[in-house]
Structure 1
Amino acid sequence: MNGGLEWVELTVFAALFVLVTVLGFVAARWKAGNTLDHLDEWGLGGRKFGSWITWFLVGGDLYTAYTFVAVPALVFGAGALGFYALPYTVVLYPIVFLPLVRMWSVSRVHGYVTPADFVRGRYGSRILALLIALTGIVATMPYIALQLVGLEAVLRTMGLNGSGLLGHLPLFIAFLILALYTYQSGLRAPALIAFVKDALIYVVILVAVFYLPAKFGGWSSIFDRSAELLAQPGANGNPKGSIVLSATNQLQYATLALGSALALFLYPHSLTGILASKGRRVIKRNMVALPAYSLLLGLLALLGYVALVAGVKPITNEATGRADSNTIVPELFNQQFPSWFAGIAFAAIGIGALVPAAIMSIAAANLWTRNIYKEYLKKDASPAQEAKQAKLASLVVKFGAVAFIVFVDPQFSIDLQLIGGVMILQTLPAVAIALYTRWFHVWGLVAGWVVGMGWGLYLLYTIPNPAANKAHFGGSALTLDKISLFGWHPFAGSSTQIYVGAVAVVANLVVAVVVTLIARRARVFNGTDQTDPDDYHVDENSDRLKPVASH
């Protein structure tokens, strides 16, 4: 701890945190079914959320606390490249509109709870389903840890910036409370809390984007001054950034936006929110309405330029001794607004960490329970035993993320999340494409996963970050000149950059196609498809739906 505690901000933050804690426990009785001892009820909220609840739940799930602090921090440090998050959330919804309604239908007919459940039913392959489950769990873990990074940035700004275990005490308390009410209430807890979180976020950002520009001479002045500041040389002698893209990073920007859009849909927690909705019409309405969050994100990203012009400096993390760039927006609010309003803003970001962390831990727990525990450890597990296992697994996942932040450099969790995005993208053929066609052979999908995963991780390993003094895993931008195909460099001499995930998933698809053609010619058995073409079109009023919480 340090002596500079912001008591007004802490008081407002604590009061709102207590409010959402009460809501978290009350949620167990909100829209409750006959029992919470079933994954349909505990892990998917009874599969009966309507349009408004789903909108807040999915929005709270996809637009996380880390997004709210990291995107403007990236704009603050690099300029235009930080806006990649805006087009990717814009293109996301048209791309995933049809796959999501198909996933909802087939999951409701067969009682699928996870994407790995669908893969198991579609291909009858335990191995492929296991790969999808493990990928989802491993990719989700650092994502949960990043929510803690966002929460700690807020706590640090309010003066809770100690070193050692005592410095992490507020984080321990917050996540202990989160663990308890998620254990009791399941998905209903973050669904109910998301209403408070999103209301606070909208109020704070709308006030900020109208008040702050007026204080600094308007947006025209802010853009002009930001361009000057970003053009100044950084540690490597090159410009720090630019408010427009350069010739070398335009391809990276486009592939990062598209790759991130596809990856976001494939994350287990994204599908959890969709499977919890009560019908296809709810999903369609949400795909139309969710871009409102993208508008919010765009306005928030602009605050990175405001912080640049305001001369905001990141707070030093006492645990690592390095400046924490994620404190840029919290520190901007701390300097430019009254303490009571800054406290509301910090509560919005802090609660914004709890909602996605809860959903992510539930999604990871569902994967463990359905696709590892029940599949390999206890085949005859009852629904109540499944629910118990999922509750325990969600605790392990949460506290594993806390331990990661405490004992490992938080910057490394950011790098791991970067790796997680490349990893989850490798499930695209087996999950998303399989919703439309079963042309790929199961062994083609397995081989494609192995190649895409292996090459993607290798390419990430080869990327340095001299500014951070890192020789490996320094970013996701790969120079085309570095791409080598068995010693052949097809883009030798090119300084254009591309997103590693795009390269890896193309390799995945190419290998999957080649192995599929070979397997088909050799007439290798392609597993048994338990689904029917009509399963992908049923709606909530169909008598073919599997009853919720049935055995």
Structure 2
Amino acid sequence: MKVPFNGTEFALVVVLFVFVAVLGFLAARWQRGETLAHIDEWGLGGRRFGTWVTWFLVGGDLYTAYTFVAVPALVFGSGALGFFAVPYTIVVYPIVMFAAARMWSVARRHGFVTAADFVRGRHGSHALAVATALTGIVATMPYIALQLAGIRAVIEAAGINGDWPLWIAFAVLAAYTYSSGLRAPALIAFVKDILIYAAVLAAVIWIPYKLHGYDHIFSAANAHFAAAKSGGITLKDTQYLAYSTLAFGSALALFLYPHSVTGVLAAKSRDTVKKNMSLLPAYSLMLGFLALLGYMAIAAGVKPALGAGGKADTNTIVPMLFHAEFPAWIAGLAFGAIAIGALVPAAIMSIAAANTFTRDIYRPYFRPTASPAEEALVSKIVSLVVKLGALLVILFLNVSFALDFQLIGGIIIIQILPAVVFGLYTRWFHRWALMAGWVVGMVSSLWMLWLTPKAGGHGHFGGSQWAFTHWGIHTKVTMWIGLITLVFNIVVAVVLTPVLSKAPRGLDATRDEDYLVADASEVRVPA
């Protein structure tokens, strides 16, 4: 449906946007070190964020604007399958707690800024480090683009015509990120999370009250899926494996993204990292409530707004639900929360991608003698380029393609797990075996994705689930491609390591005690 322009909603979005933009620029003075002309200060906030700041920063980084619009939209279109994000964001924290703590410790001791820095130091392999860096950058780019898709959803739901608000959002985001670095999204995350929690709590109380309770909501959703003969409020027998492997695989992949690593390394102590891993599941409660908004939209009879080309944009279903069920001033606050929720992760992701390029590609191969100030400057410039690239993706590429790329991103990023996570615990794997495993994992992933058709049975890269029919097994059961190819990756690394036992190993720059550093007072190697 075409949405008429609402001045109240638009005005509130603008006010909140201006407020956080001012905060973004003021953040340059917040907990500032001697200079921002250092990648540690600009790109990691000086590595001095405490428990609360880290909690808001990592939460704002992982629970993105696209999470707020995509998860309910998936529930709206597919039903129970869309809830996969809830269990995966519950199991991820105990899985990564100890690995993240070890990463923080060794990074603090050696001044590592990225996962690729660690891989180069641990395995003594520049090629493996570059592979890790490129994997992270490629997987992050569509993720940034999809944050801007969250802003576009708000624009469409508020009845605003044209893409000029996206250009303004890009300019402001670029300016305060360039000026303040990681401190900007860390400070803005406080505002973003407070607004999101308020909007979600209001929605899960007020909307069911208006719709005569949750019983009616679930009944309406069930009737809708039964009529459509697709989806459902419970999983079908053939969906269990797809659901569980997607959730588990996504949990394994989440903290391999450069922006996730950045959030961890910005913490001031190992204890801060562990506390956050135990506190962050609180966000999953909010995510469960958010997912329910998809069913509420069905019960309320809400239709998606028309996007580019006059086609219905299902990403707008949450903004449209707020637009239909709340007074304009509450809907405007919720729209502002979603827009701000895009700015925080987009800033962190662009900083993380820029740090990865600077430390692991620019300095080793173009400017080995680069000064800390030069590194910081290059990171600032690259962060602008990354954000501009994400904006161009949204403006000139169908958003559904960007979503496909993001799904592919999870399958791609999980291929660095052996080099990064296994490397935190053991040096048994040979660097060449890990590199061969990465190649096999990447090639097999792209091959399986190529064979996965789009809806209707035509085209390629149609989803992240592998149909067992490709192996001659006549069933509708599917499995997340990333876990299959990760097994290929690990098997190759395990088999080749003994074979390459006489081949030269890279120099390990770390020691066992480096993985147990507790705080900055134990650091002996200058950052």
TM range (shorter): over 0.9
User: Are positions 1:226 and 2:226 aligned together?
Assistant: no
Cα shift at 1:27: 0.3
Cα shift at 1:543: 3.0
Structure 1 equivalent of residue 49 of structure 2: 49
Amino acid at match of 1:232: A
Cα shift at 1:320: 2.9
User: Are positions 1:204 and 2:199 aligned together?
Assistant: yes
Structure 1 equivalent of residue 305 of structure 2: 315
Cα shift at 1:518: 1.2
C-alpha distance after superposition, 1:331-388 (max 9, x if no partner) = 0000000000000000000000000000000000000000000010000000000000
Amino acid at match of 2:65: A
Pick the aligned partner of 1:279 from 262, 266, 269.
269
Structure 1 equivalent of residue 414 of structure 2: 425
Cα shift at 1:454: 0.8
**What are structure 1's unaligned runs of at least 5 residues?**
162-166, 234-238, 484-488
Structure 1 equivalent of residue 468 of structure 2: 480
User: Are positions 1:503 and 2:484 aligned together?
Assistant: yes
Pick the aligned partner of 1:247 from 194, 215, 237.
237
Query: Following superposition of structure 1 onto structure 2, how do residues 171-190 of structure 1 map, counting pairs within 5 Å?
Result: 171-190=166-185
Structure 2 equivalent of residue 494 of structure 1: 475
Give the TM-score normalised by structure 1: 0.94
Amino acid at match of 1:227: N
Pick the aligned partner of 2:188 from 183, 187, 193.
193
Cα shift at 1:538: 0.9
Amino acid at match of 2:195: L
User: Are positions 1:338 and 2:338 aligned together?
Assistant: no
**What are structure 2's unaligned runs of at least 5 residues?**
none
User: Are positions 1:515 and 2:510 aligned together?
Assistant: no
**221-230 vs 271-280, which deviates more?**
221-230
CA RMSD in angstroms comes to 1.2
Contact 2:105/2:514 (<8 A) preserved = yes
Structure 1 equivalent of residue 251 of structure 2: 261
Q: Distance in 1 between matches of 2:398 and 2:363?
A: 35
Cα shift at 1:496: 1.1
Cα shift at 1:3: 8.6
Q: Distance in 2 between matches of 1:510 and 1:247?
A: 30
Contact 2:73/2:314 (<8 A) preserved = yes
Q: Distance in 2 between matches of 1:438 and 1:220?
A: 55
Give secondary structure in 1 for the equivalent of 2:238.
coil
Give secondary structure in 2 for the equivalent of 1:498.
strand
Cα shift at 1:406: 1.0
Amino acid at match of 1:247: D
Amino acid at match of 1:72: P
CA distance change for structure 1 residues 36 and 437 in 2, over 3 Å: closer, same or farther? same
Pick the aligned partner of 2:314 from 306, 309, 325.
325
Query: Following superposition of structure 1 onto structure 2, how do residues 345-424 of structure 1 map, counting pairs within 5 Å?
Result: 345-424=334-413
C-alpha distance after superposition, 1:516-541 (max 9, x if no partner) = 12112xx1112110000000001115
Amino acid at match of 2:191: V
C-alpha distance after superposition, 1:191-216 (max 9, x if no partner) = 00000000000000001001111111
CA distance change for structure 1 residues 501 and 13 in 2, over 3 Å: closer, same or farther? same
Structure 2 equivalent of residue 78 of structure 1: 78
> Number of residues paired by the alignment?
526
Structure 1 equivalent of residue 507 of structure 2: 528
Contact 1:3/1:159 (<8 A) preserved = yes
Cα shift at 1:544: 3.0
Q: Distance in 2 between matches of 1:196 and 1:105?
A: 30
Query: Following superposition of structure 1 onto structure 2, how do residues 32-47 of structure 1 map, counting pairs within 5 Å?
Result: 32-47=32-47
Amino acid at match of 1:497: T
Contact 1:320/1:409 (<8 A) preserved = no
Structure 1 equivalent of residue 151 of structure 2: 151
CA distance change for structure 1 residues 3 and 132 in 2, over 3 Å: closer, same or farther? closer
Cα shift at 1:438: 1.2
Q: Distance in 1 between matches of 2:119 and 2:7?
A: 51
Contact 1:108/1:545 (<8 A) preserved = no
Amino acid at match of 1:181: Y
Contact 2:195/2:334 (<8 A) preserved = yes
Give secondary structure in 1 for the equivalent of 2:466.
strand
**198-207 vs 216-225, which deviates more?**
216-225
Amino acid at match of 2:476: S
Contact 2:3/2:158 (<8 A) preserved = no
Give the TM-score normalised by structure 2: 0.98
Cα shift at 1:12: 0.5
Q: Distance in 1 between matches of 2:524 and 2:382?
A: 28
C-alpha distance after superposition, 1:171-222 (max 9, x if no partner) = 0011110000000000000000000000000000001001111111211221
**113-122 vs 222-231, which deviates more?**
222-231
Q: Distance in 2 between matches of 1:462 and 1:311?
A: 36
